[in-house]
Structure 1
Amino acid sequence: MSTVALDAAALETLVSAAVAAPSIHNSQPWHFKLRPETSTLEVRAVGERKLPQTDPRGQALYVSVGAAVFNLRVAARHLGWAPEVRMLPDPAEPDLLAAVELDRPALVTLPSTAELYGAIWHRHTIRTPFTGPPVPAVVLADLVAAARAEETTLDIPGPEETERLLHLTAEAERTNTTDIGRRIESRAWIQEPGGPPLGIPRRALGPQDAAGHLPMRDFSAIDPADHLPPAAFETHPCIAVLATHQDRPVDWLRAGLALQHVLLVATVHQVRASMLHQALEWPHERWATRDPSQGPGCVQMILRLGYGPEGAPTPRLPLTDSIDEDETEHL
């Protein structure tokens, strides 16, 4: 198959796909630099977009960047490359989280590439109730397989374990709303009209569950007068738990790759997702999210899955703010 040239247009396509990935509080903590001499696109963390209160270890930042790297990998295959991803390639550069080599053309076209690439532009986080039927077992099996392809696990817990995880999430959400540092930080990531396209617009926050069963993130950041009326969420939510075998920075990146793979496969099946991350933001609750019956593992994300509207995208920074163009002027 033919491969497009690694020129400015291809670079724009690659980075446009990458930045469409989800990130905690839409912080977009990534930056890209092309090394033309090696046909390598470096992906770096933007430290000033880390959330020191919510994410003191940087786990969520790494997951966010990992999700962007997965989109980048899909876009590269769509353009005809066989990308090689090296995670944490240089210990001397801790902000260099991944390097994607684009020097080899793909020998075959994977059947799923076109579907996953198309799903990049339709995947949006949903914070509203799901209204459709339960997600079929065959679809859930595809999501489990997507996580496995990235060397992670995705567990679909039964009703009792689901209730336990929702209880832990609710406890963490209550702590978030009473912790002064968390409230201030959350408020800072609510996007104000006319401000930079970082953070979450008020229109994307979503309502709270009228029954108090599903602990949706409130952000503790908007005035009560601006709250949406509570809504009836699904009585029996479908929860999925993404875990890695260990809990190192490279595992957080791998979890980001797996998260985005799962989300894109879900989007192909028209399944929507929202993320219940609150319990992973407090050490005690995060440890408690582990299900001993599933063996050792470190939970990296809890997803809520279902059918509903596609949702609207949250804003992204201009590509010129995400690409280091010093080395691309001659492309």
Structure 2
Amino acid sequence: MSLKTPAGPDAHTPDPDGGQDPVPVPSPEAIADLVADAITAPSLHNAQPWRFRYDPHRRVVEVRADPDRGIALSDPEGRAAHLGCAAALFNLRVAAAHAGWKPVTRLLPDPGDPLLLAEVRLDGGRALYDATRLPYRKTTETYRRSGEPYDGTADAYDELADLYPALRRRRTSRAPFTEERIDEQLLDTLRRAALIEGARLAFPDEFHGETVLELGREAERRQLSDTALREELAAWTGDHRTHPPDTPPDDGVPSDAFGPRARAGNAPVRDLGAGDDPSGRAVADFERSPQLALLGTAGDSRADWLRAGQALERVLLEATLDGLATSLASEALEWDELRWAVRDPASALSHVQMVIRFGYGDQPGPALRRRPVQEVLTVTGDG
């Protein structure tokens, strides 16, 4: 990723920390590189509900919600859209730290602009990332238990940069995982990743895990019995969305990403092709004891959703670096009464924001298409 700066007198701005050296202004080309990394984030049905606006005079990248890309019936309050935008926000922070910037983040900075979800100011003062440095995340032996966001220190920026290699390796896998169990040390690493961003990650016992799976099945049954919900799902999934000249759309989930059908019983992932002709899909045996986690927050405000989305992406990137496969299960969370039941009474989670399935598998999901950067990024002023 390049850090090109525009020529001329506007190429630098004063150091916001009061230093004497001016801070270089990232060029629009450099910001486009950062946004290209940011939009590798996951979102419900790959709807990509984000937009970005760059103000070079302030060195600020705004992360904004795109109201035209909401999923109205399944996500009427926009919670899932906030999670997706926040995951993209986290990727932006990772990419900026990797490129040598200090990404200073403010959530919901303007109450009068509800589409403005976050601002990221790119401060200077960091050396370009040293890929030979021993990753800080691998040497620390403790993780934060306070739930306070962890930001603003050299270690914090280094930890962000360490996650960069996972940005384009992370996939959602709807394939079977093996029965190999994840060791407790790695589970603690994932818990810590959530805590750093102000959320919590709980691993339910087998009994509650089966309850969570059954709640997901109930949500799927409800969706299949509702014509409007089936049509909404079909609008974002399947190959019928491909139009001549055989160019697939830059969003949604194509059929080759649905994964196989379960040979017997139910798969521990949402079956995006449940209402379609199953003859063209493979059949497979899924793991008998899925390893699930509940990502939650103390509150359920828009700010909590944004914290949860960043925590989600941090957990997914950490899992990717550590060799884990992942998939997301949000279907039960789309129904208020089912979402409440997903909560694990044995944990301190008040509001579950996402169900994550972890495991080991040799079938990573395909890389889903993304909208071009020029469609989601606007540069203000003359740069």
**Which whole-Å CA distance do the structure 2 matches of 1:225 and 1:136 have between them?**
36
Aligned to 2:364: 310
Match of 2:199 among 141, 147, 152: 152
What is the letter of the counterpart of residue 324 of structure 1?
T
Distance 1:144 1:296 in 2: 13
Per mean C-alpha deviation after superposition, the further-off stretch among 127-136 and 210-219 is 210-219
Matching residue of 1:104: 124
Residue of structure 1 equivalent to 2:83: 63
- Indicate the larger mover: 308-317 or 209-218: 209-218
Q: Secondary structure at the match of 2:346?
A: helix
**1:4: Cα distance to partner?**
6.3
Distance in 1 between residues matched to 2:248 and 2:168, nearest whole Å: 24
> TM-score, normalization: structure 2?
0.81
Q: Are the equivalent residues in 1 in contact too, given 2:262–2:285 (CA < 8 A)?
A: yes
1:176 correspondence with 2:223: yes
User: How many Å separate the matches in 2 of 1:160 and 1:221?
Assistant: 26
Give the aligned residue type for 2:371. Answer: L
The farther-off stretch of 110-119 and 81-90 is 110-119
Which residue of 96, 109, 115 corresponds with 1:95? 115
Which residue matches 2:257? 204
Q: Does 1:241 align with 2:332?
A: no
SS of the residue 1:240 aligns to: strand
What displacement does 1:243 show?
0.3
What displacement does 1:212 show? 1.9
Match of 1:252 in 2: 305
1:83 is aligned, of 86, 97, 103, to 103
Between Structure 1 and Structure 2, how many residues are aligned?
Answer: 328
Shift of 1:201: 1.2
Instruction: Tell me the TM-score normalized by structure 1.
Output: 0.94
Moved more, 227-236 or 39-48: 227-236
Alpha-carbon shift at residue 181 of structure 1 (Å): 1.2
Query: What SS class does the counterpart of residue 73 from structure 1 fall into?
Result: helix
2:277 is matched with which residue?
A: 224
- Give how far 1:132 is off: 6.0
- Counterparts of 2:343 and 2:160, CA distance in 1: 33
What percentage of residue pairs aligned between the two structures are identical?
Answer: 40
Which residue number corresponds to residue 165 of structure 1? 212
SS in 2 for 1:83: strand
Deviation, 1:216, is 2.4
- Work out whether residues 224 and 275 of structure 2, in 8 Å CA contact, stay in contact via their aligned partners in 1: no
User: What's the CA shift for 1:62?
Assistant: 0.2
Q: Does 1:119 align with 2:166?
A: yes
Inter-CA distance 111–97: structure 2 relative to 1 (3 Å threshold): closer
**Equivalent in the alignment of 1:17:** 37
Aligned to 1:301, the other structure's residue is in SS state strand
Which protein is bigger by CA-based radius of gyration?
Answer: 2
CA 1:61/1:227 → structure 2, altered by over 3 Å: closer, same or farther? farther
| 2:176 corresponds to | 129
User: By how many angstroms is 1:13 displaced?
Assistant: 1.8
SS in 1 for 2:101: coil
Higher relative contact order (CA 8 A, sep 6+): 1
The 3-state SS of whatever aligns with 2:249 is coil
Greater mean alpha carbon deviation, residues 151-160 or residues 227-236: 227-236
Where do 5+ consecutive residues of structure 1 fail to align?
A: none
Shifted more, 222-231 versus 66-75: the winner is: 222-231
Task: Choose the corresponding residue for 2:56, options 15, 36, 54.
Answer: 36
Corresponding letter in the other structure for 2:214: H
1:187 aligns with 2:234: yes
> What is the CA deviation profile of residues 14-44 of structure 1, one whole-angstrom value per residue up to 9, with x for unaligned ones?
1011100001100001011101111100011
Q: Deviations over 1:107-165 (max 9, x none)?
A: 74755344300100100111110136222221111000000101110001111111111
- Deviation per CA, 1:204-263: give whole Å up to 9, x if none: 111222232434222357631555133100001100100000001111111100000000
CA shift for structure 1 position 177: 1.4
Aligned to 1:280: 333
Distance, in Å, in 2 between the alignment partners of 1:260 and 1:47 is: 22
Give unpaired runs (5+ residues) of structure 2: 6-25, 128-153
1:143 maps to 2:190: yes
Distance 2:290 2:107 in 1: 34
One-letter code of the match for 1:186? L
Classify 1:177/1:57 alpha carbon distance in 2 versus 1 (closer, same or farther; 3 Å): same
CA separation in 1, counterparts of 2:80 and 2:116? Answer: 16
SS in 1 for 2:262: coil
